[in-house]
Amino acid sequence: MAAVRALLWPRSGERLVPAVSALLLALSFPPLHLLVPPFVGLVPFAIWVHALSPDAEGRRAAVRGSILFGAVYFGITFYWILVALIWFTSLAILAFLGAWFSLMGIAALFGWTLHRSVHSVRVPLWLALPVAWTATEWFRAHLPSTLAFPWLGLGSSLTGFPELVGIAELVGSRGVTFWIALVNGLVAWMILGLRERTGWIGRAGIVALVLATPMAWGVWRANTLQMRDASRVAVVQPNIPEHIKLDAIVGRDSTLASLGRLMPTLAPGTVDLVVMPEVTLSVLAAAEPPGGRLTPIQGYAQAARAPVLFGAFGYEGDLAGSFSYYNSAFLMRSGGLDDYRYDKRYLVPFVERVPFLPAEWFGGLQYFGGYGVGQGWPLADVGGTAYGVLICYESTYAEASRSFRREGADVLLNITNDAWYGREPLYARTTALWQHPAHMVMRAIENRVGVARAANTGISLFIDPVGRVYERTSLFEADLRVGTVQSTDIMTFYTRYGDLLGNGSAVAALLLLMASFWLGRRLDPPGRRV
């Protein structure tokens, strides 16, 4: 144990700079939406790694400092895993610690890759930094089974300034990550030139050019983008706390009571579609008979003279025997339940799907741990407008939105239950309540598509193809908002070709590591290597 601690625990001189860098970077994200920290947060860490010795001890120091960096950065960014879930189970402690230690491991991979790239392969710091950071962010988003966790990549830090990240339509969110990390690397390179009094003015000019050019293009694109009105949508926010929703009967009664107060405020015939949150009613929708528990939803469709898209449970198989259940979206028309159904494909780790284990093992735990994984990208067609539905956490997966857009979606809908992320008292709210909707801003820009988001306890909102938010609700207030969703007829470069910079960075980082091992065998003295 002492040997492990000596190997992994940061020593004197390896603590302050990584911690400061992590703190700066953590301040970049919602709800603060600070503009400067994303572009300088990695600079202290990069300069520190550059100054380390090129040998095995330097690599070990980089790993130790990276572990501290990850502990601070991910601890601040994802503390909500513990705070949000501790209300429901003490196992939240284990869930948070498991996620935290895993993320620290990913941070260590970043620092190790950066050190090897700079010192063993002699890649310039300004280039090694974005490659290493983007590659490890890609790795986090592509872990096997449901362990993948793409939540809050560095690119999403600028969603409060959507016009500045218009390049996402070309390179995606992970491409924006690469650009931000590249600016950090160039700033570090400029500071090193200033220290050495060699060419720092020219380097400052390059920093300004790389920083300003994508921003200027994004602003120009935002002002010239041709948009059209796609549909008129109502998003409904019932505001049912999660501890009430977990009681199936009380949760349904409370939801219907809230909907009964909200829906009459919607004038008949004024919208094309009504959108309700994830698991609006905890029922197996297709199994409900006429006159059953979906009757109120049908009544709302008739009164509004518009279909209602809502969340419930789907299933495959025999309810009297063996069946699989899904977190699904359905479409209710005035005449009854439509054939449309979308089953959630990206499931929340452990809560909805336990990684690697067969779903049938959890059949005794209804609606926990054993959800089925949906297939395909079906679109809901309403009045000639095609809607792609992202359920909750799927908003963090850029590939899901891209797939819907490639299938022909005119509008993206995000139905979610963010009651898990906090309660009404200020002390019980977490930053996840603001982090989660920020992902949909990036999805709108990547695909230049309009978005409507219906969240149980908020934040419900609309987003235009530039990424601008409007008709935003307050948290923990029952509400109904109507907005005209705009879209475009553009198939963006990112939509067509995907995450080229993310995939390229992952391949480049792997090649750099292979090269560093080959060179390390030639240059390192005999002994322990890292």
- List, for residues 443-497, the tens digit of each pLDDT value: 999 999 999 999 999 999 999 999 999 999 999 999 999 999 999 999 999 999 9
Answer yes or no: do 261 and 209 share one domain: no
In order of 281, 325, 354, 361, 518, the CA distances from 358 in angstroms are 26, 13, 8, 6, 41
Q: CATH number of the domain that 283 lies in?
A: 3.60.110.10
The full length of the chain comes to 530
Answer yes or no: do 358 and 370 share one domain: yes
Residue 6 covered by a domain: no
Residue 528 covered by a domain: no
- Considering only CA atoms, which of 228, 252, 224 is closest in space to residue 238? 252
pLDDT of residue 527: 44
pLDDT of residue 526: 47
Coil, strand or helix at 421: helix
User: Is residue 358's pLDDT more than 70?
Assistant: no
Residue 10 covered by a domain: no
Residue 215 covered by a domain: yes
pLDDT band at 225 (very low <50, low <70, confident <90, very high): very high
Answer yes or no: do 192 and 274 share one domain: no
pLDDT of residue 513: 93
Q: Which helix (H) or strand (E) holds 299?
A: helix 295-304
Beta strand 380-382 with 308-317 is unpaired
Write the pLDDT tens digit of every residue in 5-28: 555 667 666 678 999 999 999 999
First to last CA, the chain: 19
Domain with 453, as residue range(s), is 228-489
pLDDT of residue 363: 54
Beta strand 385-391 with 411-416 is parallel
Residue 325 covered by a domain: yes
pLDDT band at 353 (very low <50, low <70, confident <90, very high): low
Give the separation between CA 461 and CA 413, rounded to whole angstroms. Answer: 10
Answer yes or no: do 212 and 258 share one domain: no
Residue 9 covered by a domain: no
In order of 23, 71, 145, 527, the CA distances from 76 in angstroms are 8, 8, 26, 37
Answer yes or no: do 125 and 272 share one domain: no
Q: Answer yes or no: are the C-beta atoms of 45 and 18 closer than 8 Å.
A: yes
Q: What are phi and psi of 207, to 5 degrees?
A: -55, -50
- Considering only CA atoms, which of 34, 63, 116 is closest in space to residue 516? 116
Residues of the chain above pLDDT 70, percent: 92
Answer yes or no: do 216 and 321 share one domain: no
**Residue 218 burial (C-beta neighbours within 10 Å; 0-12, 13-18, 19+):** buried
Answer yes or no: do 307 and 333 share one domain: yes
pLDDT of residue 467: 97
User: Is residue 365's pLDDT more than 70?
Assistant: no
Q: Which residues are CB-neighbours of 412 under 8 A, at least 6 positions away?
A: 387, 388, 389, 390, 401, 404, 405, 440, 443, 444, 447, 449, 450, 451, 452
Q: Which helix (H) or strand (E) holds 316?
A: strand 308-317
Q: In sequence order, what are the beta bridge partners of 460?
A: none
Answer yes or no: do 440 and 507 share one domain: no
pLDDT of residue 355: 63
Helix axes 56-77, 43-51, angle to 10 degrees: 160
Answer yes or no: do 355 and 384 share one domain: yes
Give the separation between CA 32 and CA 26, rounded to whole angstroms. Answer: 10
Give the separation between CA 455 and CA 159, rounded to whole angstroms. Answer: 19
Helix, strand, coil % in the chain, rounded to nearest 5: 50, 15, 30
Write the pLDDT tens digit of every residue in 226-236: 999 999 999 99
User: Is residue 291's pLDDT more than 50?
Assistant: yes
Q: Which regions of 392-460 does DSSP assign to beta strands (E)?
A: 411-416, 450-455
Residue 60 covered by a domain: yes
DSSP state of 487: E
Answer yes or no: do 32 and 179 share one domain: yes
Residue 195 covered by a domain: yes
Q: Which two tokens stand for residue 267?
A: 């004038």
Query: What does the pLDDT average to over 31-40?
Result: 94
Interior CA angle at 160 toward 409 and 219, to 5°? 75
How many domains does one find in the chain? Answer: 2
Choice among 48-62, 192-206, 398-412 with the minimum mean pLDDT: 192-206
Q: Answer yes or no: are the C-beta atoms of 461 and 472 closer than 8 Å.
A: yes
pTM for the predicted model, two decimal places: 0.92
Number of H helices, E strands in the chain: 17, 12
Answer yes or no: do 428 and 463 share one domain: yes
Helices (H), 427-489: 432-447
Answer yes or no: do 132 and 57 share one domain: yes
pLDDT of residue 460: 98
Give the separation between CA 335 and CA 352, rounded to whole angstroms. Answer: 32
Coil, strand or helix at 411: strand
Cis before residue 31, ω within 30 degrees of 0? yes
